[in-house]
Structure 1
Amino acid sequence: MTANADLIGQPGGARLLTTPALIVDGELLERNTRSMVELAAKAGMKLRPHAKTHKCSELGKRQIQWGASGLCCATPHEALVMLGAGIGDLLLTAPVTQPRQASAIAAALQRLCPSGQPCEFSVVVDSICGIELWEEALKGARLQINALVDLDIGMQRTGAPDSPAAIELATRLSASPSMKYAGVQAYSGLVQHIESFEERQRVYGTHLQKLKAVLDGLRAAGLAPTIVSGGGTGSFPIDAASGLFNEHQAGSFVFMDVEYGRVAWGTSMVPFDVSIWLRGHVISQNHPGIATVNLGTKSLSSDSFAPGVRGQPDWTFQFFGDEYGKLQFAGPGEPLWGKTVDFVLPHCDPTVNLHSEYHVLHGDTLIAIWPIDGRGVL
């Protein structure tokens, strides 16, 4: 039993949570997802939100109920967890190089996909070696998975570097007995948090020019991609206007955080609501203008900005150690000893990975606790 399970359904129970507690507003999760599904559809795209943001099969299933076409996964472990929850329409967005991981996924797909039936599961590849690894893992499985050629459009992390390399991979996939060439993936994480919309347009524009050139090369070679998948929350307005994508991989929109709160959206999209926060308690207040809370680097990601203090824009947070944070405010401040304080996450994805469960609220009532079951390594 989790620490707060006894509070589920108790009116006002949210105020009694043992902390640190990662909290989500169930209504805002749904509103954010339905809004993004609608925005994507208006731009001629399906929404395939990235589960790396939430790492939760229960939330993933609900996103599909709310209109998403399927999910993206960043790691084989995330994919296995989603498959185990019965979600088969997945795209594994990073190349796999470990045979044990590919074999585990192939075994899970055999259990989920009836023999001879189409399999919705998709992977990306950026090398011939990667294709051969999957073919070996799928040997004897009597199923075919979809494969997208991963393109490097400017980030230099993964992906085929140019049109000839992409054509070579697409040609090889077209002849594969166990993999179906389904299209391409193009993602640039470098641009997602560029705060100026104009600067983001300028930098990302060069990446999209490269994508267009590769797409033109594939079409000229008779290898037109059925799926062009990619993009993120920060690039969504630009992706929507480009007309290059028919599937979008935005993930952080479902939660939002301090980083995305600093990003300018231009005039084409309304920012989403912050639907997640971390609740802590004040454990000491013995000096003017400061108080100590029971959460530090073990509870909040420290790779970007400091967290925001929800409802208190003039208060600031400073990391005070592994388990502690320092609240700072003007003057002596009101008595806070034992009171709860809520924090807007600095960077949602890595903060989520520090916790084992979501506390789902409706008003001040705890209605459910969802495990963050996609954490970990296969």
Structure 2
Amino acid sequence: MLRIDDPTLTWPLLTLDEAALDHNIATVAGAFADAGVEHAPHVKTHMSREIWERQVAAGAWGATVATPAQLRTALGWGVPGAGRRAFLANELVDPRDIAWLRAVLSDGAGDRAADRTADEVWVYVDSARGVNLLAAGFAGAAPEVTARLGVLVELGVPGGRTGVRTVSDAVVLAVGVHDAGLRLVGVAGYEGPVAGGTSTEELDAVGRWCDDLRAVGAQIGGLVGGATVLSAGGSAFADVVTRHLTVPVQDAAGADVPTRVVLRSGAYVTHDHGHYLRADPWTRLGAEPLRPAITVWASVLSAPEPGLAICGMGRRDVSFDIDLPTPLVVRAADAAGRLGAPRELTGVRVTALNDQHAYLAIEPGDDGLLAPGDVVGFGISHPCTTLDKYRTGLMTRGDEVTEQIALDF
């Protein structure tokens, strides 16, 4: 059995705790099922077929992706069932990508191989130009092809990222989608720009944005053939979006508008020791706490002066866009490189990263705590920008490697 300290491996090393990963997948799947919402996990977090298969087995509706390249990759995994459905949570504006998508959605297309099929793909629009590009790309397509393309109007935030800025603009654009002969399925957006924390005021602001999303759904229901999709992210605010978006929707005449709530939470799958640990919407939703699954292991290279140690891990190896890594444990290595028992690290923190060096500050009196050749296990903040630095990850139980997984970034 391969171990993380096997002679064929070297530091820095990315490991994923299998028990934590499976716990997180099952916990969120259960929480969403209990809340009556569907889940299209954002696979940009990991871009791993092996992890996606576990999410499909837990009941995912389909894979959410961020870019056309990720869409090609996720459909190329060829995972049966939900693996044939995808949600591009972005605008599709390149005519080449639109032509490719039409081919993938077309029966008998010349370049449609068995592992590049799609039963349904949803995309955003946030402008008349975007609608026109999609309509031109699918002009003359057979009804069974256009039926596989779902279009959602994106509602944004003033000063935020993409998406129309008002409810009225979203409704006007939805009418444009319908009039262009495209299949309108609902309204969507990302609540992240609304709030940076979880204070009462910030959570209330997210709730108001969700209410605007519902207001759009109430006005466009008559243009949607079937239940109107209301979709949000949910990684940091799953409790708020679930509570607000599952409130029944009625149109101006007081008639019920059938809805489907589809959340796209992705970072939950590995959780972390920083940003998502602080946000933690899952315990607010009544679920069990999620468990951080990622550890990045790195050698102590030097202890050049009191209060300082340098590890062989840097910006090319670990996320740093939200928080610096968290030193968790240290393990001494014997003459053959075999790791000893872990010792918890307290009073040690990362103060800076270079390309491939981490600066660790050690509290006075703890000099000698870290010595060259020791191996430190680090927790991370923001899994999306850690996993993309690797091409493979090691699934582990303790020190044993149970599976080597590909990370298709």
TM over 0.5: yes
Q: After the TM superposition, which of the residue ranges 216-225 and 284-293 deviates more from structure 2?
A: 216-225
Q: Per-residue deviation at 1:308? A: 0.8
Deviation at 1:132, TM superposition (A): 2.3
Deviation at 1:183, TM superposition (A): 1.3
- Going from structure 1 to structure 2, the CA distance change for 1:155 and 1:183 (only over 3 Å counts) comes to farther
Structure 1, unpaired ranges of 5+? 1-8
Which 10-residue stretch deviates more, 128-137 or 319-328?
128-137
1:237 aligned partner: 239
Cα pair distance change 1:118/1:51, threshold 3 Å: closer
* SS in structure 1 of the partner of residue 45 of structure 2: coil
* 2:93 counterpart residue number: 97
Query: Partners in 2 of 1:107 and 1:222 — Cα distance?
Result: 24
**Equivalent residue number for residue 275 of structure 2:** 259
Q: Distance in 2 between matches of 1:202 and 1:160?
A: 21
Report the alpha carbon displacement of residue 358 of structure 1 after superposing the two structures with TM. Answer: 1.5
Change (3 A) 1:127 1:223: farther
Q: 1:323 aligns with which of 335, 346, 356?
A: 356
Q: Does 1:42 align with 2:34?
A: yes
* Residue 286 (structure 2) pairs with residue 286 (structure 1): no
Task: State yes or no: 1:295 paired with 2:297.
Answer: no
Q: Which runs of 5+ in 2 are unaligned?
A: 248-259, 330-344
User: What is the alpha-carbon root mean square deviation over aligned residues?
Assistant: 2.6
Partner of 2:178: 174
Aligned to 2:229: 227
State the partner residue of 1:371: 406
Q: 1:253 to 1:191 in 2, by over 3 A?
A: farther
Relative distance call for 1:371 and 1:217 in structure 2 (3 A) is same
284-293 or 150-159, which deviates more: 150-159
Deviation at 1:220, TM superposition (A): 7.1
1:147-158 → structure 2 map (5 Å cutoff): 147-153=151-157, 156-158=160-162
TM-fit CA distance, 1:82: 0.5
In the aligned structure 2, how far is the partner of 1:118 from the partner of 1:349? 25
Query: How far is the alpha carbon of 1:97 from its aligned partner?
Result: 1.8
Contact 1:149 1:184 in 2 (8 A): yes
Conservation of the 8 A alpha-carbon contact between 1:32 and 1:253: yes
Are 2:341 and 1:349 equivalent residues in the alignment?
no
The alignment status of 1:249 with 2:249, answered yes or no, reads no
Aligned equivalents of 1:89, 1:282: Cα separation in 2: 45
Deviation at 1:155, TM superposition (A): 6.0
Counterpart of 2:279 in structure 1: which amino acid?
V
Q: Output one character per residue of 1:279-319: Cα deviation in whole Å (capped at 9) or x when no partner.
A: 11111123223221111112222222211112424210122
279-288 vs 227-236, greater mean Cα deviation: 279-288
CA contact (8 A) 1:184 1:225 kept: no
Q: Which residue of 2 aligns with 1:5?
A: none
Looking at structure 2, the residues matched to 113 and 249 of structure 1 have their Cα atoms a distance apart, in angstroms, of 27
* 8 A Cα contact 2:195 2:205, kept in partner: no
The equivalent residue for 1:4 is none
Give TM-score scaled by structure 1 length. Answer: 0.86
**Aligned residue for 1:276?**
294
Deviates more, 1:150-159 or 1:241-250: 150-159
1:37 positional shift: 1.0
Is contact 1:125-1:131 (8 Å) kept?
yes
Aligned partners of 1:83 and 1:112 also within 8 Å: no
Question: Would the alpha carbon gap of residues 223 and 108 (structure 1) be closer, same or farther in structure 2, given more than 3 Å must change?
Answer: closer
Instruction: Verify: 1:77 aligned to 2:69, yes or no.
Output: yes
Change in CA separation of 1:138 and 1:62 when aligned onto 2, cut-off 3 Å: farther
Whether the 8 Å CA contact 2:126–2:153 is kept in 1: the answer is: yes
The alignment covers a number of residue pairs equal to: 361
| Distance (Å, rounded) in 1 between the aligned partners of 2:266 and 2:385 | 13
Structure of greater relative contact order (alpha carbons < 8 Å, 6+ residues apart): 1
SS in 2 for 1:94: strand
Larger radius of gyration: 2
Query: Which moves more between the two structures, 216-225 or 47-56?
Result: 216-225
